[in-house]
Chain A
Amino acid sequence: MTLASLRKKLLPDGPALDIHVHPLNCFGSYRVSSPGTDAERLVATARRSGVTRMCVFSLYETTPYEPTAEQCRLANDYVLRMRDAEPEAILPFCYVTPAFPDEAVAEIERCVGGQAMAGVKLWVARRATDPGLDPIMEAAVAKDVPVLQHAWLKTTGNLPGESTPFDVADLARRHPKARIIMAHLNGVGYRGIEAVVDVPNVVVDTSGGDPESGLVEAAVRRLGPHRVVYGSDAPIRHFGVTMNKVLGAGIPDAAKRAILWENALRILKLDRREER
C-alpha cells in the first residue's frame, strides 16, 4: 500500500459535516489573532481530513464553566465573525447558559432569529435536569433548531453542572419536540447509549474521548445509523482521528454516509434553511 493510497483511504468519499467544533481561541495550542484567522486556519485543518462543513460554537475565550450572559454574547459574536470569514464552511451555534434563562432566550432570538445561527449549544453551567433549560428548549423548538447538549459520564466525577446521558434523556422527555444532539459518544460510552435508546429525539455525536474500538458500531446497533452523527470536538481532538472512528468502523457504507453527512442535514434542516 502506498502512502497516497493510504491517505485516500483515510478520507471520506463525499462531503462531511462536523457537528461539534470549537474555535481555536477556546482550546488547543494555536494562538490566533482574530476570528477571521481562526476560521481560516480551522477550516484549512478540517479540509485536510475531509471535513467540508462544520458547526462551530465558542465557549468564550477563557471557557468559564459559569459564563455570564455577556460572555455568551461575546462568544457568539466571535463565531458570527468566523462565519463572515468562511461562510461556505461554518455554521455557527448560539451558546447560552441556563443560569440566565431570560437572557438566554433573548440571545437565541438575536442569534438564531436575527443572524440565522444553526443551533443552540449548552455546556456545563447547569445539568440538563435543571428547569433553567426549559425556556431555552422552548425557544429552540420555536426557532426550529437543534440543541447540542454536552454530556459525559466520568468515573472521576462530573462537574457540578455537567450533564450525564441520563440527564439528557430526562431533558428530551420533557421536550419531546426538541431535536437534541447529545455530545461525546466516547465520553458517555456504552451506558450513555443505553440511556437514550428509547428517547427518539436524541441523536449522539461521535466526539469525546479516544477512538476506542467498537463504540461506533455499538451506537449504530443500538440507536440505528440515523441517530449517530459525526462530531470531532476539534481542536481538542483531531478532525482526522474522529473522522476515522466512522470510516474505520465495521458498519455499512450507507451508515457511514448517514453519520458523516445525511443525518446532520436532517437534524439541522439544512436544505430548507438554505432555501430561505
Chain B
Amino acid sequence: MIIDVNAWTGPLPALVNVPYDAASVRASLREYGVERIFMAPLAAAWSANPHLCNANVYESADEFDDISPVPVIDPTLPTWPEELEKAAGHRAVRMIKLLPGYGGYELAVADDLLAEADQAGLVVMVQIRIDDPRRHHPLAMVPDVPAGDVVEAAMRHPNLKLVIGGASATALRDFAAQVRDLPGLYADTSQVDGVDSVKMLVNAGIGGKVLFGSHAPVFMPAASMARALIDLHDDTAVGIMEDNASGLLSV
C-alpha cells in the first residue's frame, strides 16, 4: 500500500486548469497505486484564517475512506487550541500541518502548539515551501522556511513526531545527521530533486526517516512517484512509500 503523506486539495492561484477537488486529486494518485492519502487544504496558504479551510478536508475524509485529513493550524490565531482539539478528536486525523511561510510567523512562535500536539499524539508537518519562489507572482512572494528552523523545533520538542515537508535535496543532505539522530524528525520526498537524489538520502543513512509525498495537485503524481521509485531497490522503495509512514502515522 503506497501512502502519500503530502497531498492537497483546493485552490492555489498558481494552479491553472488543474482539477483540485478531493475526488480528482484522489483519482490522480490512485492511478499510480496510492492507497492512503494525507490531504491538507491548499487554500489555507492564502487564507487570513486557515482554520476555515479545514472543513474541506474533513468533508473529503467523510466521503473517502482512504483520505486522512491534515488540517492546517495557525499558532498566531487565538483559536488554535480549539482547532487542535478538533483535530485530535477526529477519528481520521493523524497529522496536522503548519505553514509558517504563508502565515508570516517564526516557527518558534508555535512552541505551545507543538507541545500540545505532542501531548495529543499528533504528528506535525511543517511545510518548507509550496512552490519555487522564483516562480511566485511578483506581488505574492513567500520565502522558504529554513529547514534548520524545523530541526531546532525538533530539538526543543524531542518527543514530538515532526516532518519537514517540501524540503529540497540539498537541505535534507545538509541536515541528514540531524534527521538520522533526532528520533522524532522525518522528511518527505515531495520536493527532493536531482539525479539519484532520494537514493543519496538513503545512502546518507536516513532512508528510515523519509516518507513519500506527492505534492499533488501542485506537482504531477507521476513525477513524484518517479523520484521515489526509480533509483531504489524494492525493499528500500517500500520503506519510503509505505513502511516508514505506516509506522509514523499508525496506518
A residues contacting B by CB (< 8 A) are 1, 3, 6-7, 9-10, 24, 28-30, 42, 45, 48-49, 152, 154-156, 186-187, 189-190, 209-214, 217-218, 234-245, 247-249
Contact = CB atoms under 8 A, between A and B. Distances in A.
Given A155-B136, A189-B135, A213-B218, A244 B194 contact: no
A211 B218 CA distance: 8
Interface in B120-175: 131-138, 141, 169, 173
A77 B234 CA distance: 39
Given A156-B133, A209-B134, A217-B17, A240 B227 contact: yes
Interface stretch (B83-91, B97-105, B179-187, B195-203): B195-203
A105 B231 CA distance: 40
Contact of B221 (A7, A28, A248): A248
Contacts of B221: 248
Interface string B7-49: 0000000111110000000000000110000000000000000
A243 B225 CA distance: 11
Interface string B199-238: 0100000000000000011111111111101110010011
Chain B interface SS verdict (over half): loop
Contacts of B222: 9-10, 244-245, 247-248
17 contacts: A6-B229, A24-B195, A28-B194, A29-B169, A29-B173, A154-B134, A209-B132, A210-B191, A211-B220, A211-B223, A238-B194, A240-B223, A240-B230, A245-B222, A247-B222, A248-B221, A249-B220
Contact of B225 (A6, A236, A249): A6
Contacts of B200: 29
Given A218-B17, A238-B197, A213 B134 contact: no
In this complex, which of B196, B197, B224, B234 has the most chain A Cβ atoms within 10 angstroms of its Cβ? B196
B141 A155 contact: yes
Given A48-B231, A187-B135, A210-B131, 15 more contacts: A3-B229, A9-B222, A45-B196, A156-B133, A212-B14, A212-B220, A213-B15, A214-B18, A237-B194, A238-B197, A239-B195, A240-B227, A241-B224, A244-B222, A244-B225
Contacts of B237: 3
Contacts of A10: 222, 225-226, 229-230
Contacts of B191: 210
B66 interface: no
B230 to A, nearest CB: 4
A209 B129 CA distance: 14
B193 interface: yes
A243 B219 CA distance: 14
Contact of B133 (A24, A152, A155, A236): A155
